[in-house]
Structure 1
Amino acid sequence: MRIPSSLLTTTAFVGAGIAAVLTAWTGAMVIENKSEAEVRSVLLTAGMTWADVRASGLQVRLHGTAPNEAARFRALNLAGTVIESSRVRDRLDVAPVRAIEPPKFSVEMLRNTDGISLIGLLPAAVGTDPNAPPPNADAALRDEILGFAGSLPVSDMLETAAFPAPETWAAALDFGTEALKLLPRSKVSVSADSVDITAISDSDAQKRRLETELAKIRPQGLKVSIEISAPRPVLTPFTLRFIKDAEGARFDACSADTDAARDRILELGKVAGVEGAIMCTIGLGVPTPSWADAVEAGITAVTDLGGGSITFSDADVTLLADPGTPQATFDRVVGELQADLPAVFSLKSTLPPKSDGALAGPADFTAQLSEKGKVQLRGRLTDELLKTSVDAFAKARFGADNVYTATRFDDALPEGWPVRVLAGLEALSILHHGNLTVRADTVEVSGITGRQDGRARVAQVLSDKLGQGQSFKIDVRYDEAFDPFAALPTPEECAKDLNAVVSRQKITFAPGSAEITTDANATMDALAKILLECPAMKMEIAGHTDAQGSTGGNLSLSQARAEAVLLALQGRRVPVAGMVAKGYGEGVPIADNGTEEGREANRRIEFNLQAPVDSPEVATAPDGEQTADAGATGNQPAAEAAAASEAAPDFSKDLSPSVAPKEAKLKPRPRPDRN
């Protein structure tokens, strides 16, 4: 059977069509798969796992959620590097923008003798005027630092971020700045909720004083870490001076390198006849570990001579015998001392000639320092150059307006006269008031000092400046009245002063309220001034009312008023860590509630000292020295208040006045001089 040609033709066309369709479909699948694989590969290589690639013919669609716009554009660009960018279809979403978390604000403040460095991140302050540029927090802090830096250079490496400041940031930064002002060698780390202070003090006494000052200005609710170290002082020169004469045995200066050496020296002094307390400084700079052995040999030598003085200035030793000491005794003692001293020491011994009893001539050079700080210079100097030097040195030490010079020239003065005069003036500057006499054979310094180590410091200066073998005399007495640390008030005195203020002018409140009236601002300022001068102590602020109104209402009102006073003091930068507020209501009357005068007297605020805090620098008054007045302090028993009534407090009949802080100032008030 013969197949028709038309059927063959049709079959050929159908077969060709099917082959073309299969070829096209296969080609499309190959192109889709290859494009999809290559785009997916380049995106995965770039770490864009969030992108989903789907090919449809020649088009490649990108699906998924990009973390941000930059990632979306990068994904599209990467896909365009593999295939024609016109074939890429953007079906990507972008994750919603999350609120940016504020950074951790912190400031490191470093201060030493070379300068002040500020490092950290500050919140940029936001101004109230939207059209005005915001205040510069960096510049504000730098200006505050420059206010007390003086000549110290300030390195500013601070940055700012446009975020609101944390709630406690201002108080923390203010406290840190005040701490930096107090501590000349310190590192202060400030964060939003804490302040860490590391510092070095010159002595234990200064360490305690600085810790007390920081406690006074420490904000409530702020975590504070304070580490103040007190290394032993460097004593230059390392000095000890022992004297035995008609007035008895004594140390003009005493230094030791260890506790054991100090105890040994003090015991030697007592055996030699020293009476009373002896101040002996433990410090660095000893010329040899055998210091105590050398001192023992020196004190023994003076005792064997029967009188005289021995001065150790580093490794230089000067032995001065009393006039009239037998030459044989002097030679024997000097020989033994020379043998007993460690090899590092150099000894110079002097036996002054016995005085013939003739009257001494006029003083060669004198300086008189008055209690008001005025100094008069009289006597003889070598020339105009020395006069100019002495006048300039005195003005630098005592003040340009406090120096009066009336000297004359004498070119026959002994060698070393300028050194003796200048050394004497430096020693005189240690005193509160006194006299200096410079003669050819000695330098004498006498007077009163407010420094407990004043006598030792004078001896240290003279022994260092005059040199080995030179004679000098010291008659310096410590007077507590001129000691700025001893003049600090005791807790009992502070409490007495507080109650004296509220006795003269009561703290007034709005009727039936715990709000302090503006009339009481002066009283609150006076109370804050006293408390800023006082040492750390535990104080109760006691609130009292009259008998009008309900018992429970009076108790609540008195408590609220006591707390208002506490808050008002805190707002004035008074440290309130040791204070508590307690209301006694009508339970502790001091007058008759039947009269208006009595009710007025019963409406009061009292300050009761709970437990005085002992301080090494502040003397505490004996127990029992308490006043018995209505406003007095001390161990005054407070009657327990009656139980509060469940009824609502009735304040309507209480017309006494009251206090609430109007503002909280961030900067502490300066401590006034207590003169």
Structure 2
Amino acid sequence: MHGLFRWSSKWWPGLVPLVVFWAIAAWTSTSPLETDLAARSAAALKDTVLDKRRIEVFGRDLTLAADAFSEDGRRSAVASVAAVPGVRLVNDETQLVPEASPFVWSAERDVVRVTLGGSAPLPSTKSRLLDVARADLDGVEVVDRMNLSRGAPPRFDDAALLLIDQIGRLKDGKITISGTTVSLAGMARDIGGREAIAAALKNLPEGFSVAANAVAAPPYVFQAYKDPVAVTLTLTGYVPDNNVHAAIAAAAARKFFSEKVVDNLKTSVGAPAGFANAVVPALGVLSRLSTGTLVVSDREVKLSGDAFYDAAAAQIRADMAKDFPGGFQVKADISLKPAAAPVDPTVCQQLFSDLLAKGKIRFESNRAAIDPDSAGLLDRLIETALRCPTANIEIAGHTDAVGEDAVNQVLSEKRAQAVLDHLVKAGLPADRFTAIGYGSAQPVASNETDEGKAQNRRIDFLVR
């Protein structure tokens, strides 16, 4: 017995290296197997759409954890791994991603960034939406706040991509898909942006509808600035179409007899109803100011500047509200130009001649009614008459040679008298002026051409 114990004591230490050698052999033979199974299992899942995928291998047993986007996709992924040669057992830890009901997605824009939020149905959809947003909004930060969820309606991707195009048209605002309804709110970036968004929404995929479109348009602004130093009238802002553009430019050319018209207008949709009917009379008022600014913003008309004399300022303030279409608000800030120094009769005559060389007092055809387009020129003539208070002035009416002499004579007299009456109404003393008609007796050009006839139809101011 004693000898047996001594034999055992000598034998068991020899087992230790055998166990170590066995463990090393087992490890060196198992580790490559596990690595190979993991790689082949991953390859088997390469065409399977999963999120948060994790594969662990112990021996020939495999644990698969992942979020799947459908029950079929989940079962297919487990079956694909189980079919990998060498896999003995699959521990299924897969689950479905949460379902969103309703399925909500949004794109929100502020001053510096666009944030995509809510739910996306697949990782590929999420990546595509981010890529398109960054491409369309070049230079704008795009923030991803999207979660992955099930429950997206059919053709969600098409709807979201179309709406990302619209976020670029917003200065700020938010676009939301909830189920199959779309809601929009915010401010369009440019004139016409609201209309462009509304047009694009007509192309939403079948099944989608617009629940609310509260996108506002920026103010539709038209501006005109009269600069007496540069002798220019500068037009900026927007007009609704080429026909209105042409009409406004033509009205400006008639009303501003000496200024060069600088036309920087652009055509855009979004003008309020009655836009042209508000702009044209407003330009007429501006023509009566020495210097001034006109701003038509949506349905608000603002005029500011200096009138040439007291009565003109009072008349402009009293008449402005009468000449504009209903629905427009008119605000006038009319001050008075400092009175110019008096001049002697010779200088006065030169001033009259210079003004009438640049523009003509216009009348309605074959009548003595003064055309409103001549209001600016008449105010300049009145200002000049005020500068020579001691001079007597003849207002001479002339016609072309078309028609009977007697008729032309009467028409010339009536037109001269209409101008005199206008000056008296402005506050000038009637006894300083004489209205005389000369008919067609004193032409300054040939009556054989339309251009010559137009030159002969005129009013002259003669200092006596």
What is the TM-score of this pair, normalised by structure 1? 0.24
Instruction: Give the helix-richer structure, 1 or 2.
Output: 2
